[in-house]
Structure 1
Amino acid sequence: MAKTLLLLQLSLLLVTCFTVFAEDENVAPAHPPTSHPPPAHPPTSHPPPAHPPTSHTPPAHPPTSHTPPAHPPTSHPPPAHPPVLPPHMPPTYPPKPSYPFARKLVAVQGVVFLKSCKYAGNNTLSEATPLAGAIVKLQCNNTAKPLTAQAQTDKNGYFLLLAPKTITNYAVHKCKASLVPSSKLPMCKQPSDLHGGVSGAILNVDKKKPLVSVNKVEYALFTVGPFAFEPKCPH
């Protein structure tokens, strides 16, 4: 009898515990847990910038590929003052010389040589020989029409040329002496320009003998040269 009563009590206790446990399972908790509680400030994966960037921001002053210069260059700038071509200049003459004596007539002296074939074409008188029969001309341009006079060399190649009577030592700076080509000189080819033999030589006062007397007439003596002819040489 006692065992039966004990079993009943045990059965009643099990039923009571089962009921309590069942009620506990059905009762919702006061604060149910959350698997992912929301943050106070949810993060953003890509926050927008204050000033969104632009892939092609235009510059304040866009560059230009061909900026025209302030003053474009010119291939041929015009000169400020166009060149003026020099006029045709007359031949120049030395300044008018001064003399310690009065006005005199003019005489010109000099020597003419024939160059050697060894030095043909060179401005030298090395191995040259005096030339007889050469003609020297004096030309003075102190009047509207040029005045000329000629003289011929002797066997020593020397000449003494008397200027026209209207030419004096006061106007001799406008006179020049030169060689005259001649076919009567078989050994000569042509005059050379040595000491102005072709272009014309300026007359120089002979300081050693400034005066010379010819036929009892006193002349102011001038010197030119020496002159020379080019030789005819065998090939």
Structure 2
Amino acid sequence: MAFRALSLAISVLLLSLAVNVVASSASGYDYSPKPELYHKPKTEDNNPFIPKTIGIQGLVYCKSGVKVIPLQGAVARITCLAVDQNRYESAPFSFLSDPADAKGYFFGTLSPSEIEDEWKLIECKAFLENSPLQTCKVPTDVNNGISGAVLSSYTLLNDNHMKLYSVGPFVYTSESNPGF
């Protein structure tokens, strides 16, 4: 009698397991992979919508007394930190913008080919680097021109595959203590 009860209990248990397996398979929540659902994730190499380059733009002025003029030829420095796939930080690395035009506008770019493979940018800052005018060479910290303007918000330029960051305007002066 005990054997018969044990046998019945095992049969009921096996039947309920079979029903659960069939129910989970029918509901689509089983563990077998569905090949049609697994696609290669889009990466920067094969996705035309992921920006491939970052651009940094801004303005640089010379302030002399009450007069503020665009500083043609001024250069900004962009310094970045990156991490590798194990989250180890790189040493900071920098690049320079092109010299500012007659309106004080500068522009610089950084492309993935300029960064080590498997490295991801975590922070970049823009700084005043150089003024071509001997009479206006003292950098100020207006808009973090000395301490570094963090690149935080950007505009996507889909046609150029670029994230475009804007900083500044930055200001040089001729005074050694500008009082900003």
3-state DSSP of counterpart to 1:128:
strand
Residue among 68, 78, 94 paired with 1:128: 68
Give 1 or 2 for the bigger CA radius of gyration.
1
Shift of 1:198: 0.2
Residues 102-146 of structure 1 show CA distances to partners (whole Å, capped at 9, x for unaligned) of 25321100010001223xxxxxxxx41100111100000224222
> How does the TM-score come out when normalised to structure 1?
0.44
CA distance in 2, matches of 1:206, 1:174: 13
Kindly indicate whether the alpha-carbon contact (under 8 Å) linking 1:181 and 1:190 is maintained by their aligned counterparts in 2. no
Q: Counting helix residues as a fraction of each chain, which structure ranks higher?
A: 2
Q: 1:103 to 1:219 in 2, by over 3 A?
A: closer
Q: Cα 1:144–1:229, aligned 2, differ >3 Å: closer, same or farther?
A: same
Q: Gaps (5+ residues) in structure 1? A: 1-100, 119-126
What amino acid maps onto 2:174 in structure 1? P
Shift of 1:173: 4.6
- 1:211 matched residue in structure 2: 157
The answer for the alignment partner of 1:224 in structure 2 is 167
Count of matched residue positions in the alignment of Structure 1 and Structure 2: 117
TM-score normalised over the length of structure 2 = 0.56
Q: 2:92 — aligned with what?
A: 146
Residue 132 to residue 220, structure 1, CA distance change in 2 (3 Å):
same
Would you say the 8 A contact 1:191–1:228 is kept in 2?
Answer: yes
| Equivalence for 1:78 | none
Distance 2:72 2:158 in 1: 22
CA RMSD of aligned residues (A): 2.6
SS of the residue corresponding to residue 137 of structure 2 reads strand
Distance 2:53 2:154 in 1: 14
Change over 3 Å in CA distance of 1:141–1:188 after alignment to 2: same
C-alpha spacing 1:102/1:212, structure 2 compared with 1 (3 Å)? closer
Higher strand share: 2
Provide the identity percentage: 32
CA distance in 1, matches of 2:137, 2:58: 20
The answer (yes or no) to whether the contact 1:187–1:232 under 8 Å persists in 2 is no
Q: 1:137 to 1:211 in 2, by over 3 A?
A: same
Q: Residues 181 and 203 from structure 1, CA distance in 2 versus in 1: closer, same or farther, beyond 3 angstroms?
A: same
Structure 2: which 5+ residue stretches go unaligned? 1-48, 83-88
